[in-house]
Amino acid sequence: MSIYDTLNEQQREAVYCTDGPLLILAGAGSGKTRVLTHRIAYLIEEKGVNPWNILAITFTNKAAGEMRERVDKLVGFGSESIWVSTFHSTCVRILRRYIDRLGYDNNFTIYDADDQKTLMKDVCKLIDIDTKVYKERSLLGAISSAKDELVTPEEYELNAAGDYGKQKIAKVYREYEKQLRANNALDFDDLLVKTVQLFQTQPDVLENYQERFRYIMVDEYQDTNTVQFKFVSLLAGKYKNLCVVGDDDQSIYKFRGANIKNILNFEQEFQDARVIKLEQNYRSTSNILNAANAVISNNCGRKEKTLWTDNGEGEKIQCRQFDTGYDEAEFIAEDIRKHVREEGSTYNDHAILYRTNAQSRLFEERFVSSNIPYKIVGGVNFYARREIKDLLAYLKTIDNGQDDLAVRRIINVPKRGIGLTTINRVQESALEREIGFYEALLGLDLIPNIGRSAAKLESFVALIEYFKTRARVDSISDLMNEIIEKTGYVENLEAEDKEDAQTRIENIDELLSKIAAFEETCLEQDEKPTLSGFLEEVALVADIDSLDENQDYVVLMTLHSAKGLEFPHVYLAGMEDGLFPSYMTITSDDIDELEEERRLCYVGITRAEKELTVSCARRRMIRGETQFNKMSRFLKEIPQELLETGADLGETYEMPAQNTYQQAKQLFKTKAFAPAKVGKQFTVTKEKSLDYTIGDRVRHMKFGEGLVRDITEGGRDFEVTVDFDTAGIKKMFASFAKLRKI
């Protein structure tokens, strides 16, 4: 029996279609990874394609690892030549070889989110940007969006003509890029942007990789952005053997720059493209799939498909409405305990999915008191912890002396008596002479007013130079141990914080284990473990990769983090209008925003294999205020016959009713024979005119500062919509709001 006989008809069709552009529309749980791996095996075994000529691109290291494992099993000999990696890893490998063509050193550093934040603070200080008005995070977001769309600082500046806010961002973008280049560093977006620039400006490099990768496969194509699309189309430009796999119904990363049009317009972009739909689901029961189909069918921007399964009907979807968020958490905790106690389930069979990270707190508190083990996915990344960042900064400084951020992070860690004034003097001198920070340290006699600090700085430079000589002969593990010993880092930790020190030392031990594992893997693959290679791997690690399937705990995560995963029991919590879909989505009047949220709901539903519970609360504490929310509109899109409610879910059930005590209290206050009060009557004096308009920044007594988004003139008063910096979007009457222009 052939390995291809285990595939269904559509899957086989996708495997056998090897030449020209191909779009595989793979619904949730339809076995897309299986199709991709069998397709690779078919290309090698039946079509005689050299494994060297195959490239498979995924989005996460975890997915790449799984695919690599399955390909090795199927193909056997020769599979190690197939290039299976993420977009970022692929680009890093290309840039390590050729980035010198763009004027960078091949030994560049990759900046993570924290490094970017630090650099942005420096940039804002340098060009005098008020970070109270222009937040560092939003500036980085604007730059990232520009890079996703392949917009250079110069183009951004041209597009910003006449828009004061965008002109400021353009100025920041230009300086940010200048500083990155000076530090011989790239951020994550640059990895793709620079590779595309390399391909566009160096035809010989492009041709080399086009010849190398004659067959290209891209997983999760619906999550690609413009720069990723450009990268793939350039690579596939010669042979056109491009196979993309994705599901437009699971496109949920618009906020990260994902462009759903890449998958929706695939046939327009690639002429003669074939489209094959995989609609048979192997994961979930019929009831779960019917619910998912019913919800997603309300979207207009999608390709028509309907998931089905042979798995049987299964349990009805449990739908529960509670009085408060606390009641919801209590029910879910008890339900999990029941499954574990009575049905022999394990804790890691259960996942709780929610819209925002803040919703995890109630579940955490409940699980702690109920003694239920849990893990939050997407919490503080291991590599974002202080002690890990410190030691990695030492390695970065040794590897790439041009990385100013890394040098400045460790110059006084552990404390060497080098103060901020001294660091600023070195920095000023470096800027004046247009050289790097570390380069300035090598010529201390040229820095004015350095005084007694010179000896301390010389000792630091001597230490780094010593480590550099060790790095040429030592393994990375030995070098790391040497750094820890020579700097006295651990002793310093113990001295400054006894309680916290043990956890931090355990983290350092874990880093040493990571280095040892990296060296072992390299030796197994007959590669030399290099310091650059290790730093590169660390920089490319994703949050979701930290999910350990062998540990027994309930998983708590946002719906975005859950993509690609599956669990026997899934709880979709907080299904309320205002929470999911969010208040901003409801008030935006943008159909695309609502459709994105609906796709997110679809992703949540299709994570469940056997049982799905959807829940909501009538009232919930949000930002210290009690909010009364209606049941989510997505819940109402699920046909009633698929739900097991335990109660009537009509409108009357949704709205909070006065309890008997409140009613009695109200009656007691009412005077005999007095006409009933309908409610407190407010007299509104309409403002004649407003001293602010749309686009102005205003201040509110309670909500602080914000931007005026909309002003509507009503009969009684002006209705003003303001996007507050901390409180979010609020609608209010002008006479009550008493907004002041700032």
Respond yes or no on whether the N-terminal peptide bond of residue 414 is cis (omega within 30° of 0).
yes
CA angle 251, 252, 253 (to 5 degrees): 105
Write the DSSP assignment of 317-380 as a string of letters. Answer: EEEEEEEEHHHHHHHHHHHHHHHHHHH---GGGEEEEESSGGGHHHHHHHHHHHT--EEETTSS
| 32 belongs to the catalytic site | yes
- Rounded to 5 degrees, φ, ψ at 23 are -110, 120
Query: Of these residues, 68, 214, 607, 633, which one is catalytic?
Result: 607
| 530 belongs to the catalytic site | no
Tell me if residue 131 falls in helix, strand or coil: coil
The DSSP letter of residue 608 is E
* Six-digit token string for 128: 């005098």
Burial class for 671, CB neighbours closer than 10 Å (0-12, 13-18, 19+)? exposed
| 641 belongs to the catalytic site | no
Query: Of these residues, 18, 33, 318, 324, which one is catalytic?
Result: 33
Query: Of these residues, 220, 403, 576, 717, which one is catalytic?
Result: 220
Distance of CA 14 to the CA centre of its chain: 30
| 219 belongs to the catalytic site | yes
Query: Of these residues, 136, 219, 349, 717, which one is catalytic?
Result: 219
| 220 belongs to the catalytic site | yes
Closest CA to 230 of 192, 257, 265: 192
Distance CA 507, CA 383 (A): 10
Burial class for 550, CB neighbours closer than 10 Å (0-12, 13-18, 19+)? exposed
Query: Of these residues, 10, 11, 32, 576, which one is catalytic?
Result: 32
- Alpha-helix runs per DSSP H in 24-112: 32-45, 61-75, 87-98
Query: Of these residues, 11, 90, 195, 250, which one is catalytic?
Result: 250
Distances (CA, A) of 666 to 310, 346, 655, 670: 58, 50, 19, 7
The DSSP letter of residue 152 is -
| 250 belongs to the catalytic site | yes
HEC letters along 614-647: EEEEEEEEECCEEEECCECHHHHCCCHHHEECCC
Query: Is the distance from CB of 30 to CB of 280 less than 8 angstroms?
Result: yes
* Six-digit token string for 249: 């119904």
Catalytic (active-site) positions: 32-33, 219-220, 250, 607
